[in-house]
Amino acid sequence: MDRNPREQRAGAGWLWWILLIPYIGLLWVPFYNHVEPKLFGFPFFYWYQFMWVPISALLTWLVYRGLDHGD
């Protein structure tokens, strides 16, 4: 017997917590408010934030794929 959509969403509720990882990684600015180490001439402050763009996209994709869309 198939579960109803509300039960399906509740079963995968832990997946939504994955989306907090980028939020927390970028929320605490004193953690990455430094010049060193530089990467290709970019200060750490900038490349750390740029690094989160593909990581956030990947995590968003993982959450999307993990949710049952009824396909």
Could you tell me the pLDDT band of residue 70, with boundaries at 50, 70 and 90? low
- Assess if residue 39 is contained within a domain: yes
38-66 burial, b at 16+ Cβ within 10 Å, e below that, comes to eeeeeebeebbeeebeeebeebeeeeeee
Q: Please check the confidence at residue 57 and state whether its pLDDT lies above 70.
A: yes
Domain that holds residue 41: 5-66
State the pTM of this model: 0.72
- Assess if residue 71 is contained within a domain: no
Please report the pLDDT score of residue 6 as a whole number. Answer: 56
pLDDT tens per residue across span 18-43: 999 999 999 988 888 999 999 999 99
The count of domains in the chain is 1
Q: Please check the confidence at residue 12 and state whether its pLDDT lies above 80.
A: no
* Phi, psi (rounded to 5 degrees) for 39: -130, 115
Helix axis angle, 44-66 to 20-27, nearest 10°: 170
Please report the pLDDT score of residue 66 as a whole number. Answer: 87
- Assess if residue 61 is contained within a domain: yes
Rounded to 5°, the CA angle 9-62-12 comes to 20
